[in-house]
Amino acid sequence: MTTVYDKYEPVIGLEVHAQMKTRTKAFCGCSTDFHASPNSNVCPVCLGHPGVLPVLNLELVDYAIKMGLATKCSIAENTLFARKNYFYPDLSKGYQITQFETPLCSGGHVSIRIKDKSIKRIGITRIHMEEDAGKSIHDFSDDDTLVDFNRCGVPLIEIVSEPDINSSDEAHRYLYKIRQILVYLGINDGNLEEGSMRCDANISVRRKGDERLGTRTEIKNLNSFKNVVDAIEAEIKRQVDLLESGEKVSYHTMTYNAKDKTTSHTRSKEEAHDYRYFPEPDLVRLYVGKQQIDNVSSELPEPPDERSERFIREYGLTDAEAEEITSEKPLADYFEGITEALINKDTKTFKVSANIFRVDVKRVLNEEKIEINKFQLSPKVVAKLADSVSEGKISASASREVFAELLGTIDEEQQINKFAELENKYMQVSGESEIEEIVMRVLSENEDEVDRYKRGEKKLAGFFVGKIMQASKGKANPKIVNELLIKNLELNQQ
């Protein structure tokens, strides 16, 4: 059933501000440590005292280039900084140092997999460097606001997408991808809720088939994936409703109200802002040469998409397995720590490794709420376990127990020793003659059941298996047990 909303196509562009994980601020040597007490990571420069001057952080430039390269942007050979002038208590100089006419990176893209599983490219118009403002605390009292300047001057990159996004779902996927790349590169911690990543959405709608763009509105400061999706949905609806009732959409900056899921005009006079951009006279031109780009490029980790594809090719993983394991770089690194240490580098063992990783390792991470870098088992030990299972030495079910028992041990060497012990303990008996002996004994001890089986109660196979496993203390290789059981039961039939 089509609704009126289906007549319209949403056109969305997202602007992401990401704090860079440099040790110091963009233009002064104050620490960017987020856990400091208020107004303690400040100096005359970031407080905008009379007479101070900015000096650009080398690392910020490298980080911005990294993001540019990772999103296939061209890196500008020569750029300037600019001043964006406006008054606000948390903006200590009364202007923000940013890049206006000359962004460092431009013309890139990311690929997202959309609902129908096809790949869609979302263009990146530009990425530029700038500084963050301080934090205002509005709920202190009715009359006053408190200001903390620790965040003032923290480096940001602003990533502006082309208006290539056409639904809230695509927006979600795009944002997820940008976040993934930022975290992969190690330049941002991907924490939307804490504000280290912030998103503004530019939204307009047009009738399907129409080439002209509608008038856009801008929703600022969306601080969770859910809010991004809901806000976009709410605004699309609002705009379509307006147009359908014969009215026009006019440009406004908006805010999203999570409580009632609506968007409304911000009451501040944002529209009246004339930022009076001009080149920052206290900073000099930045030239980025091929050598620097090559250096940064050589430090880039393999991008998540490419790594996922490689895992599918090299390790025979499924799309879902590869995507899950490569969703975060530390996870993918750990997994390759396992594969590298494997003796049996074949698809079977890779798949076993993936299974142990996704089931056992991930369970511990979830239950203990830790990151992989705090997970105590060395990937070398996990590799040994995977090899063992793949070679049939330990059964799949036994492997769960071995894993659990390994968890108590901390040191890698001790873990390897412990594993050797456990392997012995849980070693499957796979020798055919050994197993056959047990099979025959069990069958001879349970003649009544054998008779019943022969007369049609095939379900009793399970009963025999149980007895055999019991007799072998769980060590008999189930596959071989089954084969020999059937063989002997059929035999007896004669």
> Binding residues for other proteins, per CB under 8 A?
22-24, 28-31, 37-44, 47-61, 80, 83, 85, 87, 89, 92-95, 137-138, 140, 142-149, 267-268, 272, 274, 276-279, 281-287
Q: Which is nearer to other proteins, 45 or 361 (CB)?
A: 45
| Smallest separation, CB 188 to other proteins (Å) | 15
Beta carbon nearer to other proteins, 149 or 426:
149
Amino acid at 478: P
Task: Quote the least distance from Cβ 288 to other proteins, whole Å.
Answer: 9
CB of 27 to other proteins, least distance (A): 8
Q: Which residue, 233, 240, 238, is CA-closest to 208?
A: 240
Judged by beta carbon, residue 42 or residue 205, the one nearer other proteins is 42
Q: How far is the CB of 39 from other proteins (least distance, A)?
A: 5
As measured in angstroms, the least distance from the Cβ of 290 to other proteins is: 14
The region that residue 272 occupies, defined by phi over 0 for left and psi between -120 and 50 for alpha, beta otherwise, is alpha
Cβ atoms of 124 and 108 within 8 Å: the answer is yes
Nearer to other proteins, 83 or 307 (CB): 83
Location of structure tokens 């890139």: 108
Place of tokens 């394991």: 325
- Residue among 56 and 114 whose Cβ is closer to other proteins: 56
DSSP 346: S
Tell me the residue type at 395. Answer: S
- Relative orientation angle of helices 461-471 and 447-454, to the nearest 10 degrees: 150
Q: How far apart are the first and last CA of the chain?
A: 66
Instruction: Give every CB contact of residue 196 below 8 A, 6+ residues apart in sequence.
Output: 18, 19, 34, 188, 189, 190
User: CB-wise, 105 or 178, nearer to other proteins?
Assistant: 105
Return the number of the residue (150 or 326) whose C-beta is nearest other proteins. 150
Residue number, 36 or 465, with CB nearest to other proteins: 36
DSSP, res 102: S
Locate tokens 């990772």: which residue? 70
Q: How far is the CB of 73 from other proteins (least distance, A)?
A: 20
What's the min distance (Å) between Cβ of 134 and other proteins?
9
Q: How far is the CB of 44 from other proteins (least distance, A)?
A: 5
12, 206 Cβ separation under 8 angstroms: no
Alpha-carbon gap, residue 241 to 282, rounded angstroms: 49
Nearest-5° Cα angle at 261, 257 to 264: 50
Closer to other proteins by CB, 137 or 300: give it: 137
Q: How far is the CB of 252 from other proteins (least distance, A)?
A: 15
Instruction: Specify the length of the chain in residues.
Output: 494
Residue 259 C-beta-side C-alpha neighbours within 13 Å: 1
For residue 193, which amino acid is it? Answer: E
